[in-house]
């Protein structure tokens, strides 16, 4: 069993905007690309050119349709480790390979200590852990711990690769333990929520819900206000009306 | 050019004092501050056509990471799912390794490796003979080429009229409609004013071109709370985040837009001042039905179009500064003829019941009440929420304006509009809507990117008339241009097409991008004539880039029974990867990956400009190839020199560009002072026109691979009428100084063709073409049902079927990518739940989808977000066994499928038996979204699989692919 820190100085995490994500997979492949050569290197792929290609990804995007009829909408849902405040994936670890950093709350797996028992993946309700069969160890989102403090990178690039790449700006990174941080304010403004909060793991990452749409339901049904105000003229009258308006408009 | 990888500018990552603290592993082996690269190079992405700037991290000689370049005008630092998977493309096992000569029958995939010298000598001998005999017998088509200003120039020097790239099955409807209407275009040649627009309408956009700019823009709209309305049969991707999704029936957008125009006119909410200032709305059109000048503009002796000026009560040149034109009413001309203004013709066209929302509802399925609401919303934003920028500017007449006033409604459109046989006129309808709202190139509207706007239409005419093609001589002009009248067509006296693809014939008079999709069919059938050599670059024409694959394969392998020779005797092909086209070629010239090559994103063809900056870019080799491959452009220059083509050899016969493409990029001049790259010319301080600068490529590399010339604020809007901008654009060669820039709501060139069809003028269509030309060459756009739906039994084929590209794939390229194919390894046919229920089809069922051409077996996924009469799938996922370095049991080949098997390249025969191509009647754009199908449940099979199936290729490259890859492990080993 592995202990959690009693307190973390910061709560670094992601805020993901489900209203803006178009499902392009830029965050997923940029994550794979950075991390296959980073702390978790490699993120292996099996049967990469064959019948059943599979691999370790630390971030995956799912597309769902939710709601029925006029309420139906398509949502793109990026899924990765939420760096929970009280994660079972750490406490179940028999070797201490899984750990939560006291400095910033990032949950990591030490590949040298991991024995690949998979207890952590059973403990995680979010399916955020990925077993790498080629190396027999568990891999997971590191919040790009090897980028965010990396002084070889320009200060503006010290963000997780997924945030750095996201073309729509749907991903945000920061300290969710600081109520004044930009990410905390964003969560407050947009009603950011915990994924499966009822489980009680207190995920640090937050999701921003889709905004309410301005469509027929919200701007008023298509009640045809125009014709009510002004009976639709026959085509010839409409043309005459238009020309007379144009004359007035042009000579004003 | 002697520039090498070693001596070019590189960005070195720096060591800082803090390294010591963070560069050592902590107790858990975490290194917080590890140096991520030995060097970082900036270049241009080529994972799709978007051409983003990238920074490539190189470590131990291998690619460690690729990220977006923050300074780059296109992507401003971000990178999509394709660009971020570039490593797997660069190291793809499907890469060709050496030149290949076919030894087995075509299609078998049996090749032998040969040397480059043998390959180039072989190609030269074939091409030299054709050039000496009849240059028309070379068809040179270049697919997804990003170097068209080079390949087109080469084809001119060679002398064949048969050259084009892939625009004929991609975007020509939109390019032509835009250029003939307002001198710009959707696609990548303009964009919504993302920073100001308040209402954005997105038509049929697939997620390919301008991929990151559109995503960045949507993010901006979301952040500002602008409303997004998407018009698309399918609710995925961008459409999923829209405020409103209008799930329109495919091919009916024109009916929808026509009704919006109807409503704006009916409710008198149009920008009448904008129309008078910038458009031909006041121009007088001759009303003389049956006469040779009917429908043409009233012009003075200098050729100026005339309007009736209410102030002077006289006819006056319509484009003068102070005209107060009459916009309605019959005008009696001095010679007794009568004329009416264009505006009246517009009102009479679109205010009829044919364009009422009720009529449109029946055609497109969008409720009339909703159409009225959209029109109302557009008008409210355009006219009640105007944007004013306190930026003075000077108009084309020299009048100063203190402010720039904008209508903040913007539109964008792409393949869903262009890939229909009514695409040209539908796109014109959208442009008319934009112009009536006053929203072209105003703050908040749709903005030009330099070098646009061009003259309306561009002055260049196509070349290749009888007498212009001579053995052993160059063509006297460019292949592609913009006909203004039947006399500009490339036909003989009998009306016979002169190009192999029948571009610029009566079949497709305004075929501004050619018809690559017809080349193989026409060449094999000898219609209009047989050819000797087909030379192609980067186009998978034996598979996902052709309609009617089975017959295309037959045409590629059919032999002439008398001679035993293939009907297309020689095929030369260049590609970087083992695509399905490779086995059908006789000689393969292997290209490099995008990280190994020189390239140019040129102002002369498809630059990467932004509305506020004229931009071009390069690619440069940042890793040396580990195979015996060469960049295609350098190979083309080498072939040109061996063929002694003018301009490609010096007077002494030696190559003009011995340093290959890099040499050409710097030293080639298209016109004095104008070359492929516009930045850092002359002494390094000149943009646009200037002497070649031997240091130019180093300057590009040092600047991140691109050059941006920023447009000053006073020139950023109303570019079509902005004197300062237009003067500058003329000074750098973007436009002629006297170019006509008035928006053509009424398109007179179309009327010229229509008059010819009615029997006027010296060049008239043969009898069998007349009805078609007269009907579709309407100078005011109109909506008509796409052809296939009117020619097949829609009782038998009730459904529409369309494709779109996944955001993480580019054409067929993505499936060789070990990461991207994990995201989409096979495709399903998507149907609405309601339709599934009606047809008795459940999720995961296998079905037969059939068209008038053939049938395909595939697996279904039901969904809500799709038009009820439409089935759709991801394109280019289905692969043939043995291609792309994949194993034969890859899901792309066993469960993936293409709709291409169902789409005919020819329309069914009509009276007289002639079969037109399945294309737009005006531009020749392939109408692959017109497809009509039937869907029925398939009987279960023991092992479920897609059909049709073809013989696997014998692909030496695909054998022995690895069981697993652990890319990046080497970096960790190096670390420890």
pLDDT tens track of chain A, all 252 residues? 789 999 999 999 999 999 999 999 999 999 999 999 999 999 999 999 999 999 999 999 999 999 887 788 999 999 999 999 999 999 999 999 999 999 999 999 999 999 999 999 999 999 999 999 888 999 999 999 999 999 999 999 999 999 999 999 999 999 999 999 999 999 999 999 999 999 999 999 999 999 988 888 777 656 555 544 456 677 778 899 999 999 888 865
From residue B91, how far is each of B126, B390, B953 by CA, in Å?
Answer: 33, 52, 22
Q: Which among B66, B81, B267 has the least Cβ separation from residue A24?
A: B81
Question: Taking CB atoms and an 8 Å limit, are A165 and B67 in contact across chains?
Answer: yes
User: Is the pLDDT at B5 greater than 60, yes or no?
Assistant: no
B795: Cβ contacts below 8 Å, ≥ 6 apart: none
How far is C-alpha B4 from the chain's CA centre? 33
Give A249→chain B minimum CA distance, Å. 7
- Per residue in B104-153, pLDDT tens? 999 999 999 999 999 999 999 999 999 999 999 999 999 888 899 999 99
pLDDT at position B9: 38
Give B388→chain A minimum CA distance, Å. 21
Q: Residue B812: how many CA atoms within 13 Å on its side-chain side?
A: 32
Determine, yes or no, domain membership for B861: yes
Residue B457's pLDDT band (boundaries 50, 70, 90)? Answer: very high
Q: Which among A36, A112, A151 has the least Cβ separation from residue B29?
A: A112
Which residues of chain A have a CB within 8 Å of the CB of B75? 167
pLDDT at position B913: 84
Phi-psi region of B472 (alpha: psi -120 to 50; beta: other; left: phi over 0): left
Distance (Å, whole) CA B306 – CA B285: 9
In percent, the amount of chain B with pLDDT more than 70 equals: 97
Q: Could you check whether the bond before residue B963 is cis, i.e. omega within 30 degrees of 0?
A: no
Q: Which of residues B401, B431, B451 is at a domain's end?
A: B451
pLDDT at position B2: 39
Burial class (CB in 10 A: 0-12, 13-18, 19+), B888: middle
Give A55→chain B minimum CA distance, Å. 8
Give A153→chain B minimum CA distance, Å. 8
Between helices B632-642 and B148-158, what is the axis angle to 10°? Answer: 20
Determine, yes or no, domain membership for B896: yes
pLDDT at position B769: 95
B421: Cβ contacts below 8 Å, ≥ 6 apart: B786, B787, B788, B918, B919, B920, B921, B925, B927, B930
Number of domains in chain B: 2
* Size of the A and B interface in Cβ pairs below 8 Å: 296
Give A122→chain B minimum CA distance, Å. 23
User: Is the pLDDT at B925 greater than 60, yes or no?
Assistant: yes
The string of DSSP codes covering A202-219 is --S-EEEPPPPP-STTTS
Give A244→chain B minimum CA distance, Å. 9
Give B357→chain A minimum CA distance, Å. 11
Determine, yes or no, domain membership for B819: yes
- Per residue in B459-484, pLDDT tens? 999 999 999 999 999 999 999 999 99
Question: Taking CB atoms and an 8 Å limit, are B222 and A156 in contact across chains?
Answer: no
- CATH code at position B887: 2.40.40.20
DSSP 3-state assignment of B809? Answer: coil
- Per residue in B172-181, pLDDT tens? 999 999 999 9
> Which has the higher per-residue pLDDT, B737 or A218?
B737
Q: What is the mean pLDDT of residues B609-632?
A: 97
Q: Which among B81, B818, B890 has the least Cβ separation from residue A45?
A: B818
Distance (Å, whole) CA B783 – CA B262: 13
Give A125→chain B minimum CA distance, Å. 22
Picking from B574, B571, B573, B540, the residue whose alpha carbon sits closest to that of residue B556 is B571
| Averaged pLDDT of chain B | 95
In terms of CA atoms, which chain A residue is nearest residue B372? Answer: A224
From residue B276, how far is each of A85, A240, B429, B436 by CA, in Å?
Answer: 65, 19, 19, 11
Distance (Å, whole) CA A108 – CA B32: 13
Distance (Å, whole) CA B580 – CA B886: 12
Residue B24's pLDDT band (boundaries 50, 70, 90)? Answer: confident
User: Is the pLDDT at B958 greater than 80, yes or no?
Assistant: no
Helices of type H across B817-941: 820-823, 833-839, 891-894
- For residue B473 the two structure tokens come to 């001589």
Give A107→chain B minimum CA distance, Å. 12
Give A184→chain B minimum CA distance, Å. 17
Determine, yes or no, domain membership for B108: no
Question: Taking CB atoms and an 8 Å limit, are A72 and B865 in contact across chains?
Answer: yes
Phi-psi region of B441 (alpha: psi -120 to 50; beta: other; left: phi over 0): left
- For residue A126 the two structure tokens come to 């979010």
Contact, B515 vs B926, CB < 8 A? yes
Q: What ipTM score was computed for the predicted complex, to two decimals?
A: 0.95
Residue boundaries of the structural domains of chain A: 12-208
Residue B1's pLDDT band (boundaries 50, 70, 90)? Answer: very low
Contact, B872 vs B802, CB < 8 A? yes
B27: phi then psi, degrees, rounded to nearest 5: -60, -25
Distance (Å, whole) CA B282 – CA B340: 9
Picking from B32, B87, B96, B9, the residue whose alpha carbon sits closest to that of residue B54 is B87
Which residues of chain A have a CB within 8 Å of the CB of B347? 239, 242-243
Q: Which among B243, B266, B348 has the least Cβ separation from residue A214?
A: B243
Question: Taking CB atoms and an 8 Å limit, are A65 and B865 in contact across chains?
Answer: yes
Give B968→chain A minimum CA distance, Å. 4
In terms of CA atoms, which chain A residue is nearest residue B893? Answer: A51
Q: Which among B215, B227, B328 has the least Cβ separation from residue A246?
A: B328
Which residues of chain B have a CB within 8 Å of the CB of A29? 81-82, 84-85, 808, 819-820
Which residues of chain B have a CB within 8 Å of the CB of A54? 822
Residue appearing with tokens 């590189």: B10
Q: Which among B267, B369, B964 has the least Cβ separation from residue A44?
A: B964
Pick from B218-222, B274-278, B369-373, B909-913: least confident: B909-913
Determine, yes or no, domain membership for B849: yes
Which residues of chain B have a CB within 8 Å of the CB of A213? 243-244
Picking from A88, A87, A101, A76, the residue whose alpha carbon sits closest to that of residue B81 is A76
Torsion from C-alpha of B421, B424, B428, B434, nearest 10 degrees:
90
C-alpha R_g of chain B:
28
> Which has the higher per-residue pLDDT, B293 or B8?
B293
- For residue B111 the two structure tokens come to 């090749």
Q: What is the mean pLDDT of residues B391-416?
A: 96
Give A201→chain B minimum CA distance, Å. 24
Note down the domain range covering B906.
Answer: 787-937
User: Is the pLDDT at B17 greater than 60, yes or no?
Assistant: no
Which residues of chain B have a CB within 8 Å of the CB of A65? 863-865
CA angle B223-B225-B229, nearest 5°?
A: 115
Q: Which among B87, B310, B887 has the least Cβ separation from residue A33?
A: B87
Q: Which of B194, B822, B868, B969 to mutate to test the interface with A (most CBs of A within 10 A)?
A: B822
Q: What is the mean pLDDT of residues B945-961?
A: 81
Q: Which among B19, B236, B818 has the least Cβ separation from residue A151?
A: B19
Contact, B709 vs B678, CB < 8 A? yes
Question: Taking CB atoms and an 8 Å limit, are A37 and B276 in contact across chains?
Answer: no
Question: Taking CB atoms and an 8 Å limit, are B223 and A169 in contact across chains?
Answer: yes
Which residues of chain A have a CB within 8 Å of the CB of B348? 239
- For residue B625 the two structure tokens come to 């190839």
Which residues of chain B have a CB within 8 Å of the CB of A90? none
B181: phi then psi, degrees, rounded to nearest 5: -105, -50
Secondary element (H or E) of residue B157: helix B148-158
- Per residue in B316-351, pLDDT tens? 999 988 899 999 999 999 999 999 999 999 999 999
DSSP 3-state assignment of B44? Answer: strand
Contact, B853 vs B904, CB < 8 A? yes
Determine, yes or no, domain membership for B681: no
Which residues of chain B have a CB within 8 Å of the CB of A232? 266
- Per residue in B40-89, pLDDT tens? 999 999 999 999 999 999 999 999 999 999 999 999 999 999 999 999 99
Determine, yes or no, domain membership for B184: yes
Query: Hey, how many other C-beta atoms are within 10 angstroms of the C-beta on A114?
Result: 22
Distance (Å, whole) CA B476 – CA B497: 18
Question: Taking CB atoms and an 8 Å limit, are A22 and B64 in contact across chains?
Answer: no
User: Is the pLDDT at B879 greater than 80, yes or no?
Assistant: yes
Distance (Å, whole) CA A177 – CA A107: 15
In terms of CA atoms, which chain A residue is nearest residue B354? Answer: A235
Determine, yes or no, domain membership for B444: yes
- CATH code at position B420: 3.40.228.10
Which residues of chain B have a CB within 8 Å of the CB of A157? 67
Q: Which of B45, B308, B373, B805 to mutate to test the interface with A (most CBs of A within 10 A)?
A: B373
Kindly report each contact of residues B14-21 with a partner whose C-beta sits within 8 Å and lies 24 or more positions away, as own/partner.
B14/A152, B16/A151, B16/A152, B18/A151, B19/A151
Q: Which among A110, A135, A238 has the least Cβ separation from residue B351?
A: A238
A161-171 burial, b for 16+ CB within 10 Å, e for fewer? bbbbbbbbbbb
Instruction: Write down the CATH number for the domain with range A12-208.
Output: 3.30.70.20
- For residue B784 the two structure tokens come to 């008509």
- Residue B854, strand partner residues: none
Distance (Å, whole) CA B829 – CA B236: 14
Q: Which among A32, A65, A239 has the least Cβ separation from residue B863?
A: A65
Which residues of chain B have a CB within 8 Å of the CB of A162? none
Question: Taking CB atoms and an 8 Å limit, are B324 and A44 in contact across chains?
Answer: no
Which residues of chain B have a CB within 8 Å of the CB of A250? 272-273, 276, 324, 327
Pick from B74-78, B191-195, B665-669, B969-973: least confident: B969-973
Which residues of chain A have a CB within 8 Å of the CB of B14? 152
């Amino acid at each position: 069993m592995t202990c959690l820190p009693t307190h973390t100085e910061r709560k670094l995490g992601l805020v993901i905007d489900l209203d803006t994500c178009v499902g392009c997979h830029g965050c997923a492949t940029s994550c794979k690309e950075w991390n296959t050569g980073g702390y978790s290197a490699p993120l292996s792929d099996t049967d990469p050119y064959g019948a059943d290609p599979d691999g370790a990804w630390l971030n995956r995007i799912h597309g769902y349709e939710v709601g029925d009829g006029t309420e139906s909408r398509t949502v793109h849902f990026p899924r990765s480790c939420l760096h929970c405040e009280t994660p079972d994936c750490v406490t179940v670890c028999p070797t201490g390979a899984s750990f939560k950093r006291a400095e910033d709350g990032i949950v990591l797996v030490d590949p040298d200590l991991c024995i690949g028992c998979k207890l952590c993946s059973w403990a995680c309700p979010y399916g955020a852990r990925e077993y790498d069969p080629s190396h027999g160890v568990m891999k997971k989102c590191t919040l790009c711990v090897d980028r965010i403090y990396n002084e070889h990178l320009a200060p503006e690039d010290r963000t997780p690769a997924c945030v750095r790449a996201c073309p729509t700006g749907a991903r945000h990174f920061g300290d969710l333990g600081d109520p004044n941080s930009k990410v905390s304010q964003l969560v407050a403004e947009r009603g950011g929520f915990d994924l499966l909060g009822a489980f009680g793991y207190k995920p640090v990452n937050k999701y921003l819900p889709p905004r309410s749409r301005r469509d027929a339901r919200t701007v008023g049904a298509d009640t045809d206000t125009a014709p009510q105000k002004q009976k639709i003229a026959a085509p010839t009258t409409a043309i005459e009306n238009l020309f007379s308006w144009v004359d007035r408009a042009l000579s004003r | 050019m002697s520039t090498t990888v070693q001596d070019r500018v590189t960005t070195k990552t720096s060591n800082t004092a803090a390294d010591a603290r963070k560069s050592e592993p902590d107790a858990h082996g975490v290194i917080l501050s590890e140096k991520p690269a030995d060097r970082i190079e900036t270049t241009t992405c080529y994972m799709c056509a978007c051409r983003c700037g990238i920074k490539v991290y190189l470590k131990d000689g291998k690619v460690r990471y690729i990220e977006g370049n923050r300074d780059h005008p296109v992507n401003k630092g971000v990178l999509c799912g394709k660009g971020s998977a570039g490593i797997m493309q660069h190291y793809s096992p499907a890469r060709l390794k050496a030149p290949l000569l076919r030894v087995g029958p075509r299609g078998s995939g049996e090749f032998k490796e040969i040397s480059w010298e043998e390959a180039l000598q072989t190609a030269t001998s074939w091409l030299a003979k054709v050039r000496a005999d009849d240059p028309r017998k070379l068809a040179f088509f270049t697919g997804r080429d990003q170097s068209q200003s080079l390949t087109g120039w080469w084809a001119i020097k060679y002398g064949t009229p048969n050259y084009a790239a892939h625009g004929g099955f991609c975007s020509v409807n939109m390019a032509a409609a835009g250029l003939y209407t307002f001198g710009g275009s959707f696609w990548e040649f303009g964009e919504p004013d993302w920073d100001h627009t308040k209402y954005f309408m997105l038509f049929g956009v697939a997620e390919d071109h301008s991929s990151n700019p559109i995503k960045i823009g949507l993010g901006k709209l979301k952040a500002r709370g602008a409303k997004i309305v998407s018009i698309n049969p399918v609710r995925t991707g961008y459409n999923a985040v829209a405020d409103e999704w209008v799930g329109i029936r495919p091919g009916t957008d024109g009916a929808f837009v026509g009704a919006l125009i109807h409503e704006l006119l009916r409710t008198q909410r149009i920008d009448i001042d904008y129309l008078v200032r910038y458009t031909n709305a006041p121009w007088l059109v001759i009303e003389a039905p049956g006469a040779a000048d009917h429908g043409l503009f009233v012009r003075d002796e200098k050729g100026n179009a005339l309007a009736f000026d209410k102030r002077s009560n006289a006819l006056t040149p319509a484009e003068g500064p102070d005209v107060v034109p009459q916009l309605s009413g019959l005008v009696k001309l001095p010679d007794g003829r009568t004329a009416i203004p264009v505006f009246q013709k517009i009102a009479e066209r679109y205010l009829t019941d044919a364009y009422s929302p009720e009529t449109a509802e029946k055609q497109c399925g969008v409720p009339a009440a909703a159409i009225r609401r959209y029109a109302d919303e557009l008008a409210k934003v355009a006219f009640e929420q105007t944007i004013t920028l306190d930026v003075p500017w000077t108009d084309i007449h020299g009048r100063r304006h203190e402010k720039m006033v904008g209508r903040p409604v913007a539109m964008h459109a792409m393949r869903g509009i262009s890939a229909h046989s009514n695409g040209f006129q539908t796109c014109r309808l959208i442009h008319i809507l934009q112009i009536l709202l006053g929203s072209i190139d105003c703050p908040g509207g749709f903005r030009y990117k330099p070098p646009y706007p061009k003259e309306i239409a561009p002055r260049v005419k196509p070349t290749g008339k009888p007498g212009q093609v001579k053995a052993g001589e160059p063509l006297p002009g460019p292949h592609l241009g913009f006909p203004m009248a039947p006399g500009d067509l490339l036909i003989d006296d009998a009306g016979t097409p002169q190009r192999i693809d029948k571009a610029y014939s009566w079949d497709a008079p305004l075929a501004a991008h050619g018809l690559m999709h017809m080349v193989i069919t026409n060449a094999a059938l000898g219609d209009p004539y047989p050819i000797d050599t087909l030379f192609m670059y980067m186009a998978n024409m034996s598979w996902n880039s052709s309609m009617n694959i089975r017959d295309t394969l037959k045409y590629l392998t059919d032999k002439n029974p008398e001679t035993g020779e293939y009907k297309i005797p020689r095929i030369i092909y260049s590609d970087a990867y083992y695509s399905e086209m490779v086995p059908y070629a006789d000689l393969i010239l292997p290209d490099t990956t995008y990280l190994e090559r020189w390239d140019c994103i040129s102002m002369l063809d498809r630059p990467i400009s932004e509305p506020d900056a004229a931009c071009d870019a390069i690619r440069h080799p940042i890793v040396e190839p580990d195979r015996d491959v060469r960049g295609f452009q350098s190979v083309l220059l080498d072939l040109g020199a061996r063929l002694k083509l003018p301009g490609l050899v010096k007077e002494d016969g030696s190559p003009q560009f011995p340093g290959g493409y890099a040499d050409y990029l710097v030293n080639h001049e298209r016109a004095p002072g104008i070359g492929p790259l516009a930045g850092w010319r002359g002494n390094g301080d000149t943009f646009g026109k200037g002497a070649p600068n031997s240091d130019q490529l180093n300057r590009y590399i040092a600047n991140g691979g691109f050059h941006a010339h920023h447009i000053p604020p006073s020139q950023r809007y109303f570019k079509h009428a902005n004197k300062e901008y237009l003067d500058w654009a003329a000074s750098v060669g973007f436009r002629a100084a006297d170019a006509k820039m008035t928006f053509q709501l009424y398109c007179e060139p179309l009327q010229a063709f229509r008059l010819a069809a009615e029997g006027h003028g010296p060049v008239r269509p043969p009898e069998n073409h007349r009805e078609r030309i007269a009907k579709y060459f309407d100078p005011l756009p109109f909506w008509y049902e796409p052809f296939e739906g009117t020619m097949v039994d829609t009782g038998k084929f009730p459904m529409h079927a369309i494709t779109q590209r996944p955001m993480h794939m580019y054409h067929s390229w993505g499936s060789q990518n070990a990461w991207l194919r994990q995201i989409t390894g096979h495709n399903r046919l998507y149907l609405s739940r309601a339709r599934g229920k009606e047809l008795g089809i459940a999720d995961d069922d296998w079905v037969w989808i059939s068209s008038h051409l053939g049938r395909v077996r595939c697996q279904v996924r039901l969904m809500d977000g799709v038009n009820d009469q439409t089935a759709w799938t991801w394109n280019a996922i289905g692969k043939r066994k043995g291609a792309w370095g994949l194993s034969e049991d890859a899901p792309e080949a066993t469960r993936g499928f293409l709709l291409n098997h169902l789409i005919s390249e020819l329309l069914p025969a009509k009276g007289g038996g002639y079969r037109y191509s399945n294309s737009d009647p005006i531009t020749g754009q392939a109408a692959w979204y017109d497809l009509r199908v039937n869907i029925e449940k398939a009987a279960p099979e023991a092992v479920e699989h897609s059909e049709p199936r073809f013989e696997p290729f014998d692909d030496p490259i695909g054998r022995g692919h690895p069981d697993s890859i652990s890319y990046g492990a080497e970096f960790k080993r190096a670390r420890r």
